[in-house]
Structure 1
Amino acid sequence: MPWWSWILIWVALVACTLVGLLLGGIYLFRKGMAVMRGAAEDLERVTARPPAAQTADDAGPAVVVRVPGSAVFADPERLREEYERGREQRRLARRDRRVARRRERGQMQSLSDLGLN
């Protein structure tokens, strides 16, 4: 084997190593950026403060959005009343969506949905 073949072999080995390191670095950089983007979104979601109250246009009273953990020191009776009121509002909203969906599809309405039962 001539002496210059060893130089070609070593140049090829070093070039392949550098290409492998470059591709590995690009891969790790892209994965790291994806992780940082996800962490930033999670951090933004966690640190974002909910609005004190959200109101719907003529849909009823304001809905209070609570900070997690605030119920620990709240009055249980008041929380129970809010829960019951919210449950009733959700039930009525489901009924309204069901009535609208059936009207839209031309289906028969339930008497209990229309309040005739």
Structure 2
Amino acid sequence: MPWWSWILIWVALGACALAVLLLGALYLFRKGAALVRGAGEALEQVTVRTGPEMAGVAADGAPSVHDDGPAAPAGRPGGAVFADPARMRREYEDGRERRRLARRDRRVARRRERGQMQSLRDLGLN
């Protein structure tokens, strides 16, 4: 083998190593950019959710009412132990029904948004 073939081999190996390093750096850069984007979105959600509305008071000082109704009064820990079982059962069933209807509404809205067919049961036509 002539002497210049060794130079070509080492140049090719160096070029391949450089290409692998550049592709790895590009991969890491894209993953890092996606991480920063996701962290920014999460930070926006946290700042929105920890605003004055989450404390039960709107920005204008009026009590806030969310989509799922006013917040339940915060009782003392263990208060449900001494509460009336019938009242607790009613509250549980009411909450379960509200959650079920909210899931159905989200499902109908999601399907409408995507242009998918609706279930007759979800629309109350069944």
Question: Which one scores higher on RCO, CA 8 angstroms, separation ≥ 6?
Answer: 1
Which entry has the higher C-alpha Rg, 1 or 2? 1
> What's the TM-score once normalised by structure 1's chain length?
0.49
> What's the TM-score once normalised by structure 2's chain length?
0.46
